[in-house]
Structure 1
């Protein structure tokens, strides 16, 4: 692994700790470019770039104030970081217009970040949104 790849992995670890686990959105611009291209925008109508990302993180932290993201695996290759994660938290605030349920959730996902000049410039993601909604009782269980 190159020095740059190791630095990128360290940056993603710090990003997860500060943004997801500490809800420290004041430092988001230290990790993400202003014009980040997010290929999995979670909510329609949000502004592009870092402001849309900031609103998404704020909404999730309001909905899950005890949120915790655990990095399960991380691979660096060139300017890309792939990381598999587990999210856990208790729904204590509204989410996408739905009232809080008080229910705990655990779901997983995989993100791919493209890095440039020590920041995240592009993101692709796949997460178990349906599983989260089922755990909250907002979607019917399978069957």
Structure 2
């Protein structure tokens, strides 16, 4: 796959898989041995990806991912700068629901293999998230 196909794969995961909650997109986009190097998810593959996303979705049921910019796409890598929004309505990492609206920046690096997402590295503003839900002072 080329850079444009790899970008489209990531965009589809964000827009259809996460935002539209189309579960089949995870199976169609994520490799069976997918590894997320940064977010919790003990299980590899599409199921592990779903588990990680479900943790966020349970705490922020209206979560929406906003793909801001594809910063680079070449060879087997796609790098995105994005943010997600949601309302803190459930427990998250031990923090009870606060009702706060959040807006969280993140950068993803994706590795694509054989037309599927094989690995990801996420740099998310967890400090900003914890400040927004009132878990730590601003």
**Alignment match, 2:98:** 101
Q: How far did 1:56 drift?
A: 1.1
**Secondary structure of the corresponding residue to residue 93 of structure 2:** coil
The reply on whether 1:40 has 2:38 as its aligned counterpart is: yes
Q: In the alignment, is residue 78 of structure 1 matched against residue 75 of structure 2?
A: yes
Give 1:47 deviation, angstroms.
2.7
CA distance in structure 2 between the partners assigned to 1:138 and 1:25 by the alignment = 31
Choose which of 122, 125, 128 in structure 2 pairs with 1:125: 122
Q: Distance in 2 between matches of 1:25 and 1:99?
A: 27
Aligned partners of 1:118 and 1:72: how far apart in 2? 22
CA distance in 2, matches of 1:119, 1:6: 14
Alignment correspondent of 1:114: 111
Structure 2, unmatched stretches of 5+, are: none
**What 5-or-longer segments of structure 1 have no aligned partner?**
none
**Is the 1:64–1:93 contact (alpha carbons within 8 Å) kept by the matching residues of 2?**
yes
CA RMSD of aligned residues (A): 1.5
Could you tell me how far 1:126 is from its partner in structure 2?
0.6
Residue correspondences, number: 137
User: 1:22/1:121 Cα in 2 relative to 1: closer, same or farther (>3 Å)?
Assistant: same
Runs of 4 or more above 3 Å deviation = none
Q: Is the 8 Å Cα contact of residues 65 and 90 (structure 1) preserved in structure 2?
A: yes
Q: Please give the TM-score of this superposition, normalised by the length of structure 1.
A: 0.88
